[in-house]
Every structure is written in structure tokens, then in C-alpha cells.
Chain A
Amino acid sequence: MAKTHVSTCINGQDAEFLCSPEQTLLEVLRDTLHLTGTKEGCATGDCGACSVLLDGTLVCACLMLAAEAEGHDVTTIEGIASGNDLHPLQQKFLDHAALQCGVCTPGFIVASKALLDEDPDPDEESIRYWLAGNLCRCTGYDKIVRAVQDAAAELRS
């Protein structure tokens, strides 16, 4: 079967890969590029565990063909920290105990980053609606919302 050659930029680095036409970006990230920080929770866009940024826009990697990434910038959880410095969102998730099992956490952090990039001072309701596509079954969301609020405050200061 003919594979498609795709040139992208992933986490600031040029990346090329071959994929089948029907392969999703999630499959290529995890299985071909070994970027396993992006998780599969449902593969139907209902849980947000595979959240990535495509040219800064928040998307589910399970709902995009890998071929569609041609010429675009992809940011995954592996690209959120700068060098050894955690992003304030990552630090605040830790400080607030905003994760329990941690499997939804990469998706939440990527989604929250997209929110704060767009709105540096979201209120609780905006945070909750923005993150409604990210399911967490452990925390009841309380500490996640607080971590995002706290990270937003730090980023604004």
C-alpha cells in the first residue's frame, strides 16, 4: 500500500514521516514517532486525552489524519516544557495535586495551554467549558480548575 510522505514541525523540530492514508495523527505520534505522552482514551474525540496543538489550535489527534499535518506545526505534551523548565501549568498541576492517575493530564495541560494562549485571565466558568472535552475520572476537576487559575495568575504576573 502506498504510503504518504508528510513533512511537519513537531515540538519545534522538523519531522518527516511516512503514513498510510487512513492513519490518524495520534497513531503516527505514538507508534511511528514514539511520542507516547499523547494518550488514547477513546479514539472518537470524546475524552481529550490525545489533545495536541495544530498551529496553536487545540485539536484531538485521534480526529485528524496524519496526512493532514503536512506543512503544519504540531505541539504535543512533550513540547510544553522549555528545556528543563516546566511550564507554569505543569508546575501548578503538581503543586495543586491536580492529577491522580495522570493519564488525562497531558491532554489537560495541552488544552489548558491553548486556553491561556487565547485568554490569559479566564474565569472559572470559561475554564470549565473550555476543558469540557477533557475527561478526568479521578479528580472531580476541582483541583484542575484551581491549577489552571493559578497558572494563569502566574503567567500574567
Chain B
Amino acid sequence: MTDAAQFKYVGTRPVRPDGVDKVTGRAAFGADFTLPGMLHGLILRSPHAHARIKSVDLSAALEIDGVFAAISSADFPEVTDSGDMGGEGGGSIKDLSDNCMARGKALYHGHAVAAVAATSLAKARQALAAIKVDYEALAPVMDLDAALAGDAPLLNEEMMTQGLAEPATKPSNIASRMVMGRGDVAKGFEEADVVLEETYRTPTVHQGYIEPHACLATVNEGGQSTIWCCTQGAFEVRSYSAAVCGMSIGSIRVIPSEIGGGFGGKTTVYLEPVALMLSKTAGRPVKMTMSREEVFRATGPASAARSTIKIGAKRDGTITAMSARIHYEAGAYPGGPVPMGCMSVFSAYNVPNLAMEGFDVLVNKPKVAAYRAPGAPQAMFASECIITELAKALAIDPIELRLKNAADEGDAAPYGPTWGPIGLKACLEAAKAHPNYQTALQEGQGRGLAVGFWFNIGFQSSAEVHVNEDGTVTVIEGNPDIGGSRASMAIMAAEELGIPYENIRVQIADTENAGYTMVTGGSRTTFATGMAVVEAARDVIGQAKARVAKLWQVDADMVEWRDGQALPKPGMNVEQEPMSFAEIAAKTAPSGPLLGKASLNARGAGPGFSVNFCDVEVDRRTGKVDVLKFTAIQDAGRAIHPGYVEGQLQGGAVQGIGWALNEEYVYDADGVQQNAGFLDYRVPVASDLPMIDTVIIEVPNDAHPYGVRGVGETPIVAPLAATANAVAEATGVRIRTLPLSPPNVLAALDAA
């Protein structure tokens, strides 16, 4: 491992390569593309939360002048592939297809039922109004309690629960059950002096990215397609669209635009297959953009969950056993974040006896999508609240109790592997020592703390490093830059190549100009694609050194690379002037361009722990919670660009605060979301918040050349429990159901 002090570029804060375009309005996002002859596509959406689709009659729409295509699920190939899609969002390709265009049943209010393409949006709207759909409305199932009731209406009449101890004998809304654990929890609870068991609930929330989904698709007469879209993963858009539309992967080119936020919500497809089929039918390019209302009603959201946690401990604070029973709403199709929830819920503690049981439950809401550390915020809201409740019951300081039981290097993770170097204890110690943790609180205020965790992932990435004629460098990679990753790629390339950061341009290429690269998600980009960039840089340096050695007529190992130049290794007795990339490129032109590349499957992603604490003040007469101070501490492994790492900590903290305080889907009795807009789906605004103080801990991850762990997802996990724990301290009343909105808080205070 290279020592931090040796770095020239890693750990600095240069302006991001794409920065100027993003502050001047030049950067082109999903809705900013147009093509000559382009049509406008719109989707007809189900007015029912649960209905059988008896017929769809498109004929009147097609008669309208200017309408070039009108399609429904009958126009899509029937997908039978029930294999898993992979990635952070679960589910099968068949379900993905049915989610893009309802087949047989509409499973949530806003579910796509038909689509049109016309010469103007006004004509497209007219066409939607002309489509006749015959529905048989069914009773909607809107939450876990309703879905689990014995007589619950079934979303999928054929679905048998997978993973039960005894095979299911009749269909239900439970798609699957999973169990994990170790030791003997019954024995562990018996050994405990104190045992607590409580149930915690979190609501349906949305990722809330500011840019609505948008795409432009064109299919030519030869069957070749191009899609411009805002996505976290162009290669996933390509494979999913191919599967849904019955096209070959090689016939589709996906060009990712700049992306206006995703947080996991843009790792799947909604519009792209529809735009492709419309374009194929119409013979013209088709542009589709969602309204904000469509984004709320038909994309995302994150699972609502109910977690029952039991914890037992000795009087000295030693935790003897923990168990969790977690139900996640999957939305309309299976694929809630059950495995991640079960694996993360007790990740922070080294406890011998553990039992985790998780359920994936269908409800008539949009199929859930990944949202930043999917599954962990819900599960760890529960576990991190009960740890604090335990600390109170034992009269032990919440940090000390956590330190006493904290997972450390060499311990076995609850989901199997042995922890490598991890920063949990370092984060807890940093919290304890932080000045914000020492300040005195006023009457009506409270301080709460919680731990966050995420696995982080690696997997497949590619990168190329092109040396230009003048010695400048172009880095080509395939991860859409959602939060400044071009800067971290350029920093790592500069560090490896020894050339100025400013001489490197990073290009996010499309699916035909970059090697296969998995989605920007799982906090993998700087880790895995960063590894590929480093490897590609080393490849090009190796080639440059070999060429120089040939010029100098020496062995390759007699040349070294330092500060962007090839020079004779000290002590090798070679008298040559150093050569830069420009000189090497010019002098070795006959050998062809200098181009380094790498394609890899990155192993050894480093798990990321965090500790958050905050001070709140509660207005006891209105139930309003104000966050006064918030401190986010996290192990980043290595912060390549600390400014963007801090940004992840701050942004995740605020999304978590929103989840804790005011965000939730509100439904009426018919299953229609009542707050499908930013007016009443209350994401935090600037005036709701204090500055978010950050501390970056660096416990390097040995698997990455610079020690990177991945930082994007962990930050959203801890704020839910940290905020709830602070409200409990401020009021003396423990509220175990989010959100801590004013009506909920006041009702709890009045009931206490």
C-alpha cells in the first residue's frame, strides 16, 4: 500500500473535468437531445391500482392525423425469461417487461398500459385520450398488513412463496422468504440479563432525483437502434431493452447522456424499451420524457419495511444474541432488497448468536428500485434504534455500548466472510472525540447517534488510456458520471502517469465505444472502474517504457517511469535524456498509437462503515423536529477527491434526514398516491438544514491500488436511526415508525 504522503494528485480537490459544461448549461442531459423528424411518445397509465386488463383498443388513436404508432403489451414479444436481472435491483426479465408495459393485469396506479408516438405532444395527448381500455377493477393491496392478511387479494394468483421451511401449498403475496444466521439465538437470549424486542416501520420513499427519466430512441429499417438516455448503466439499458424488445444486444447502441441524479432509481428501464418499440413501429425517432408526476407514480420507489428486532445483552453490555424478522414491500413484482437487509442489519456487531429472516411481499405500488444501499436504511433503522434503546436500558453510553460489541478485522461478518481491515471502531472513536459530540444541549434538544454500513461492490469494468500526439491523455470509460467520478478517474490516471491532472480528459463513452462496464451503482465506480483506469494507465506506461528501451537499445527493466517521463533507472549506467509521452509518441509512431487498456472483474470491494450523530430540537406543541447539527463520519478507504467524498456524506445524510422526518408516499383508499409531486412529497430544502459536518476516516482497502472502498451508499444508512434516537432523547418518547412528521410526533407526544 502506498502511503498517503507519497501521493501527488490523490487526495487533492481539482475542478472536475466536466465542471465548466455543468455550470454554464452546456452539459446535455436526458431531455436535451433531439433528432430531425422526431416524434413525441407518451404513455397511457392505469387509473386503477389493481385491475385486470380485459382489452386495449388502439384503433381510434391510430386514426388521428399525426399519430404514427400506438402500442400495448401485445406489440411486445412475450418474455418468458424468469432469470434474475442482476444488479442492486432484483427481479426477473419477465417482470421487467411486464413493468414496462402491463400484460394481463395493471398492478399499480400509473402502470403503463399503452403508448403512442405523434408529431406533437398535443397530438400524443389526444391519442392517449382515444385509446379504450376495458378494466376489471380489483381490490388494491396497499401495505404489508393488508398483503399478509389471510384473505388478501392476490397480485399474482400463481405465486407460491419460495424459501419456506415447508413448500407453500397455496399462493400468497409473499414472493420469498430467506433465513440466515449463526449460533443459537435461543441460548443467547437465555444468557442475557436484558432482552428487548420491538417493531419498527419505515414508509415508501422515492429516490427523488431532480431529472425525470428521458430518452430518445431510433430504429432504422435494418433493425439497428440507438438510444440516448439518462441512465446509471448504459450496458444494462442495452441488455434489458434487448430482452424486452426481442432484439439482439449487438443491434442496440446506448449513448448515456449526463445524468441528473439516480441514487439507484436509474439502474433499470422504464421508457427505453417503449421508445424503441414505438420507433420501430413508426419508422421515426421517438423522444419520451416523464413528467414529475409519472416519476413518482411509476418509477422507484424504495421499499417500505417492517422490522421486528430482538436483542439480548449482559449487564456489562455484551450482546449475546440478536434476531430480526424483516418484511419488505416489493411493489408490484418480486425484488425487494431482502438479502441486503438481512445481511446488513447486524453487520456492525460481533455477536455469536444471530438469526435473520426476511420476506419479499407484493403490494399494489410501483415495483421498487434500488435506492442507495437498498435495504440497509430500513433494516438498520431498526437495529440502530434498538441498540440505543438497549444502551438506555443498561445505562451505558451509546458509543461505549457500540464500541464494546463493534465488528473488527478478523471477526466473522454476519453473512459469512471474515472482515478485513474495516473502519467501524475508528469512526466510533472519531465520533467520541468530535467537538460536536461534546457541546451542551438546551432544553427540548436531544442528540442521537447511529452506525451505517454498506457492502460496496466491484465486478466488471473496462477502461482505455489514449496518449495523444502532444502527450495529453484521454481516458475512456463507461460509467455515467453521477457525482464527480470523472474527477476521481483523472486524479488516479494523473497519479499513475505522473502528468498534470489538467492534461487528462475523461470521456464517458457509449456502449460501442467503451468496453463493457457495469452500472454506476453499488458504490463501485471509483473502486472498480478506477482499478481499470489504473490498470490501463500501467499498461500504457509499460508500452511506453518498452518503446523507449528499444530506442535506447537497453532492456525494458532498465527504464523507469517517473513524473510523466521515461528515464534510465538509477545505477543502470544509461546516458539518455528523459522522454515525455509526446516525445515517445512522436519518435515511435511507426509502432502505432500508444493505447493502454484494461478489462477486469474487480474483487475485494471494501465494506464501508459510518457513524452519524445529530442534535435536534422538538417543538412540543406542534411536533416539528428541527435538525440543529449533523455530523457524518465515514471510512472511505481512501478519498481520491475529498470534496466529492464529503459531498456523498452530506448528500446521503440529507436524504436520510428526509426519510426520517417527512418523506413518505401517501395513498388514498383506492391506492392512488396523493402526493405525487415535490410540493407534498417533502424532500428537504436548503432552509431545513444546518451545515453537514464531515470526517473522512481512511482505513485503506488492500484490494484497490489506492485503498478505495466506495463511499456513495453508506451515507444514507445511519441518519434514520440517528435522527430518531435524537428525537427520543429530546422528548423522552420513543417513536418507532417513520416518518417523524409533525402530526406523527405530536400524536406520539400526546399519547405518552
Contacts and interface: CB of A to CB of B under 8 A. Distances in A.
Direct contact of A and B (CB under 8 A): yes
Interface residues of A, number: 57
A145 B650 CA distance: 13
B184 interface: no
Contacts of B25: 35-38, 76-78, 106
Given A78-B25, A132-B686, A143-B646, A44 B292 contact: yes
Contacts of A104: 210, 260
Contacts of B263: 137
Given A101-B209, A137-B683, 7 more contacts: A39-B29, A41-B210, A76-B25, A99-B23, A100-B484, A100-B644, A135-B685
Contacts of A49: 210
Interface in A122-155: 124-125, 127-129, 131-146
Given A80-B24, A101-B260, A140 B292 contact: no
A63 interface: no
A151 B690 CA distance: 20
B687 interface: yes
Given A94-B19, A103-B29, A141-B689, A86 B647 contact: no
B110 interface: no
B654 A140 contact: yes
A43 interface: yes
Contacts of A131: 686-687
B291 interface: yes
A109 interface: yes
B614 to A, nearest CB: 12
A42 B23 CA distance: 20
Contacts of B13: 97
Given A38-B25, A44-B678, A100-B484, A137 B646 contact: no
A102 interface: yes
B692 A40 contact: no
A121 B677 CA distance: 33
Interface residues on B, range: 35 or more
Nearest to B715: A140
B24 A97 contact: no
A30 B31 CA distance: 10
B713 interface: no
Interface of B: 13, 15-16, 18-20, 22-29, 31-32, 207-212, 258-263, 289, 291-292, 482-484, 641, 643-644, 646-648, 650-655, 677-679, 683-687, 689, 691-692
A89 B212 CA distance: 26
Contacts, number: 179
6 contacts: A80-B24, A86-B20, A100-B644, A101-B261, A140-B684, A141-B689
B677 A97 contact: no
A99 B22 contact: yes
A16 interface: no
A81 B262 CA distance: 28
Interface string A78-98: 101100001000110111110
Interface of A: 30, 35-44, 46-47, 49, 76-78, 80-81, 86, 90-91, 93-97, 99-106, 109, 124-125, 127-129, 131-146
Nearest to B21: A102
Contacts of B262: 101
Nearest to B678: A46
B621 to A, nearest CB: 23
Given A44-B677, A97-B641, A128-B686, A140 B484 contact: no
Contacts of B678: 41-42, 44, 46-47, 135
Nearest to A20: B122
A37 B23 CA distance: 9
A103 B22 CA distance: 8
B212 A40 contact: yes
Given A36-B25, A106-B25, A138 B651 contact: yes
Contact of B261 (A129, A137, A146): A137
A39 B260 contact: yes
A15 B504 CA distance: 38
CB-CB nearest 4 A-B residue pairs: A37-B25, A103-B260, A97-B643, A140-B654
Given A94-B15, A94-B19, A94-B23, A138 B643 contact: no
A127 B26 CA distance: 26
Contacts of A141: 650, 654, 686, 689
A140 B644 contact: no
Given A129-B687, A136-B210, A142-B691, A86 B677 contact: no
